[in-house]
Chains A and B, each alone.
Chain A
């Protein structure tokens, strides 16, 4: 050990204890959440096996819903996507497509394919938005559910706010226009709103899964495959871990902070009373849920947020590292901004479980984790340089973390196998096992790097989303 003029071994000792304690805490939290999630999932599946969703199809008491689909430069796929959204199994809904100032010919494609004409549309601007250029409806009775809004570009949150202002129904479903929805997705999403008793259901979220390399026909997913490319393949695993072994637990605890922007339903009245989507953050989906919950708590209204574990929405994951990094750095910025806006809730008993558990969890294990991991790498390098590193312990520690990550991924695969069993081919299973082995050494460092990029972008004051190029879904040969 070099002579630094003071006893460094004590500091090293303290550092190691803190890091190990943090690692054990994060691992324990994953295991506890996984346990709660698995239990809740089992209960849900049991309950769901007796549910007859058809009764809602013919019932006049099915909640009326408005789907809001913001579109920006989607001309290539918008025709099929809208057709798919118009053919969902639900009797009582309208579809609002908001063209957010696209630079391509999205609007022309919609007008010509759906026989749109300008309509006189009265609505109250309860949330301030960018200017609406026109509202269109179809002359064709087959598309009577469709409303298209053409507006100046203002970003996804602004487009969703326009939808909230225009929506005629008490519940809104916010979706990404390029997502593939399960035919029964609205039936499943609507059910929790009917089940509320004593507590108002203010939002419902559904599981999002990765559709890369899956076969899509006429806007419907007909064959599920695991991608060959490693990056999207590991994202399949990551989504399984997050949705099957995480969110159900938060639902059980009633501490869910995030409903994916790709697919979520909201009580319109509460969403508007809470102020609608925040246009100043790139994490508008999480921020809205937190703000709606905060609104309900501050106004002492009993409420809950529900979550459906069935795979209802399929989305395309980034296949290139560059786009992946852009997406994840944006997610990190969104997390930072949401936690910053609602910092008052942190460890505040007034906000009950949300303030005492959910927000601190996100702060310590979602926001701070990449920073702590990065600091660990830097300090390890310093130890190597100073000759302080105990290589034996270091390698054991690495193996400890690696084995935990692989085991946790296999637990997610096991849960999937016992529940939805979507990936039936033997080759798909083999691919997932390889993904589980590779994830900690390839994918995880990439997510940490992207999160660090997110920190830096946030410090520099970056506000934009960044271009997200999508490859498009596979079509059958």
Chain B
């Protein structure tokens, strides 16, 4: 300590301090510069690979969709076999099948779902649910929901109860997607408040899968002790114009947990009555 103080008093610290700092800045600067070059070249390589793989994957899925080829057959096909085991290729294949599935319905979509299962891509998605990284979990949820893997529904209900907002949104959307209005019933016991953004996302997912006369789960939402869930239920009733729910909304007005909910319920009731009269 004394030697540092002496060096400070004598002023001999200035030069080493400046010299070492300059060296440090130069080293950091050059390292960052090299890192940028490496990142750029990696991106170029990835883009090249992506273009090559895209063509192969497109051909593969066209074969799956239009020729009834099973995964076991494709594995033996010389056009695809060299790539099927590659890690990056499989990742890209997974992304591609999810995108493609969004554009197909009926028998074609079913063929893709079968391929998803047979190729082990589904297992890749399921394993993501156990990841420590929330973004990996979200990815897995999205993939499984898109591919209609209904057997993961109980797992998604469990996951949706996490405090991580992104995971909650992804899981609740997936629940609605996989199980329609019944997919939301469990929300009535949800303990965290959900913000407007989450509500908008759930409503959007619910709208797509809603089947007429499936009101029970919406009714259950109105009985929740969590006021944000009650508010979500009211918004769903409003968005889907569920006139048969009028008695339940009236009941809520009488027993509203607070003024805000009472006001919201009144607005919904007013809207439904107005719609009914037209």
Contact = CB atoms under 8 A, between A and B. Distances in A.
Bound together: yes
Nearest to A197: B195
A392 to B, nearest CB: 8
B18 A397 contact: yes
Contact of B22 (A49, A396, A411, A429): A396
B76 interface: no
Given A56-B200, A195-B197, A400-B21, A61 B28 contact: no
A148 interface: no
Nearest to B35: A414
Contacts of A59: 200, 203-204
Interface stretch (B36-44, B99-107, B110-118, B252-260): B36-44
A417 B18 CA distance: 30
Interface residues of B, number: 35
Interface stretch (A82-90, A220-228, A317-325, A401-409): A401-409
A456 interface: no
Contacts of A46: 135
A357 interface: no
Contacts of A392: 15
Contact of B193 (A197, A410, A421): A197
A118 to B, nearest CB: 34
Contacts of B39: 417-418
Nearest to B203: A59
- Grouping DSSP codes into helix (H, G, I), strand (E, B) and loop, the A interface class, with mixed when no group exceeds half, is helix
Interface string A326-348: 00000000000000000000000
B22 A55 contact: no
Interface residues of A, number: 40
Contacts of B14: 16, 20, 393
B204 A58 contact: yes
Contact of B32 (A196, A399, A407): A407
Contact of B40 (A16, A191, A399, A429): A429
B226 interface: no
B43 A421 contact: yes
Nearest to B199: A61
Contact of A195 (B33, B195, B235, B239): B195
A55 B208 CA distance: 11
B195 A433 contact: no
A396 B32 contact: no
Given A46-B135, A414-B36, A194 B22 contact: no
A61 B207 CA distance: 14
Nearest to A418: B39
Interface in B244-264: none
A194 B18 contact: no
Given A52-B201, A400-B21, A195 B196 contact: yes
Contacts of B86: none
B25 interface: yes
Interface in B127-167: 135, 138, 142, 166
B26 interface: yes
B135 A411 contact: no
Given A195-B195, A393-B14, A396-B15, A433 B33 contact: yes
Given A60-B239, A400-B18, A407 B200 contact: no
Contact of B15 (A13, A393, A418, A421): A393
A61 B200 contact: yes
Contacts of A50: 135, 138, 142, 166, 169-170
A407 B25 contact: yes
A410 B32 contact: yes
B36 A413 contact: yes
Contacts of A426: 40
B29 interface: yes
Given A61-B235, A393-B18, A194 B25 contact: no
A404 B25 contact: yes
Interface in A415-471: 417-418, 421, 426, 429, 433
A194 B196 contact: yes
A111 interface: no
Contacts of B193: 197
Interface string B166-197: 10011000000000000000000000010111
A132 interface: no
A133 interface: no
Nearest to B25: A403
B19 interface: yes
Contacts of A197: 193, 195
Given A46-B135, A50-B169, A400-B21, A194 B32 contact: no
Given A50-B142, A194-B195, A403 B26 contact: yes
A-B pairs with lowest CB-CB distance, top 4: A403-B25, A407-B29, A55-B204, A194-B197
Given A62-B200, A194-B200, A406-B29, 11 more contacts: A13-B11, A46-B135, A55-B201, A61-B199, A61-B203, A197-B195, A399-B18, A400-B18, A400-B22, A410-B32, A410-B33
